[in-house]
Amino acid sequence: MPGKIVRYETHDLRFPTSLTGDGTDAMNTDCDYSSAYVSIYTDDGQVGHGMTFTIGRGNDIVCRAIEELSTRLLNKDPEEFFANMGKAWDYMCADPQLRWIGPEKGVIHIAAGAVNNALWDMFARARGKPVWKLVVDMSPEELVSATAFRYITDVLTPEQALAMLKEKEAGKKEREANVRELGYPAYITSAGWLAYPDDKVARLTKEAVGNGFTHFKMKVGADRAMDLRRGLLIRSIIDDPANLPPHLKDRNPETDPSLRGKNAGPTGAVLMVDANQVWDVPQAIEWMKELAPIKPWFIEEPTAPDDILGHAAIRKALRPHGIGVATGEHAHNRMVFKQLLQAEAIDVCQIDACRLAGVSEVLSVLLMAAKFGIPVCPHAGGVGLCEYVIHLSLIDYICISGTMERNVLEFATHLHEHFVYPCTMNSRGRYSIPVNPAEGYSIEMHKQSIAEYEFPNGSYWAGVAKEKK
């Protein structure tokens, strides 16, 4: 008898990052990085773990939504889901009453991301492969069947996607070998959180340069003078040849194709800035014109994430200044990405592994971005997101876009110690490739971390409550 899904567990996990200013930006000034975490179990011993990311209060609401969605999986044979993950995604999102309070957006949708990712984690573990390798080893037909296409066929049909994937088949083995050897290119955000004092920003930036990073991101939007000062401070460090590790000293930004159009400085260093949605459209344009001296490659989330035409207007206004536009971290679903691409509103597409409803929806966005020729540089600033998105970037490079020349995947230094299979960086500032056949989607947390940081009764939070009495 095949196994059946028989139970699930959710955990409201919150980490006190607000105490150190980690994760702070102009919109989100008081963040406790949090994980709405789910484990799904079968009666024959299989398990799948998934999570979605929040910044504190409300994490319990997401956990409740995860429970409602997980109930739809009970008593189902996981192998039937694994046979067609696109169909499984449709089923998971199809409860009409739960869909009503989305649809395909907000709490319900990010909860669906946790559940869909848990199912993919179970699938990969059952096959003894990391998720990226599971997908890379699929045939083009299998990959298309795993993708969510509803509402995007005016831009990309399954038939078109199949042709794209078949075109990339020939070089897959070579690309996989290449990225295993080199690692996947990354950029670092952890030096530029808004609440950090200048001396900490300077110290962390210099450390990041020494660790091989060539792309850096800084939070902006609270104070123009501070943004310019901090940007010039970071530039003074990343543009100084004396700070470079040996393997970067001979780099020529004039001839390096990976730096084309990125406003790179004399050492080949690239700076990006992120406003986290804090501006109106005219304000974003004027503010960024004043930050032109720090030579940013792009402004991320300059305005409301749903304002497609606003992003297009900002992009058009900033193009003469050599500044691009990036967004996607808060894009609700594949339809928002479809419109951003249709409206020529972005230079860089930034998927989020669990704001989109899991791997199946991410695949649709990767395919659309490849069709439009827009590089995908995923968001990964929160707990567990780095562990997730390295898998997605590998899928994009090996199967879909066929390039990582201009792509960089966000990296933040925080909270990796809570994961059984944490992501790691190599000495050249690149992500190491997940290779453990047991790790699935790399999102399983240590039981001790769950016991300590579950809210409100984990040992850490119980101690905080006791101190307040």
The token pair at 448 is 């001790």
Beta-carbon-side half-sphere exposure of residue 406 (alpha carbons within 13 Å) = 17
| Number of Cβ within a 10 Å radius of residue 131 | 27
The token pair at 388 is 């997730």
Amino acid symbol at 23: G
Closest CA to 12 of 460, 361, 467: 460
- Contact by Cβ (8 Å): 303, 279: yes
Bridge-based pairing state of the strands 215-219 and 270-274: parallel
- Paired residues of 348 in beta bridges: 326
Please give the torsion angle defined by the CA atoms of residues 108, 113, 115 and 118, in that order, rounded to the nearest 10 degrees: -170
Q: Which of 129, 168, 262, 379 is catalytic?
A: 379
- Paired residues of 72 in beta bridges: none
Helix, strand or coil for residue 455? coil
**Whether 219 is catalytic:** yes
Q: Which of 49, 215, 219, 338 is catalytic?
A: 219
The token pair at 447 is 């039981």
Angle (CA) 231-322-273 rounded to 5° is: 35
Closest CA to 393 of 187, 214, 169, 234: 187
Please give the torsion angle defined by the CA atoms of residues 16, 385, 328 and 173, in that order, rounded to the nearest 10 degrees: 170
- Contact by Cβ (8 Å): 4, 43: yes
Helix, strand or coil for residue 425? strand
What stretch of H or E contains 36?
Answer: strand 34-42
- Contact by Cβ (8 Å): 39, 45: no
- Contact by Cβ (8 Å): 68, 38: no
The token pair at 345 is 């509103």
The span from the CA of 143 to the CA of 302, in Å, is: 34
**Whether 414 is catalytic:** no
Question: Which residues carry out catalysis?
Answer: 219, 379
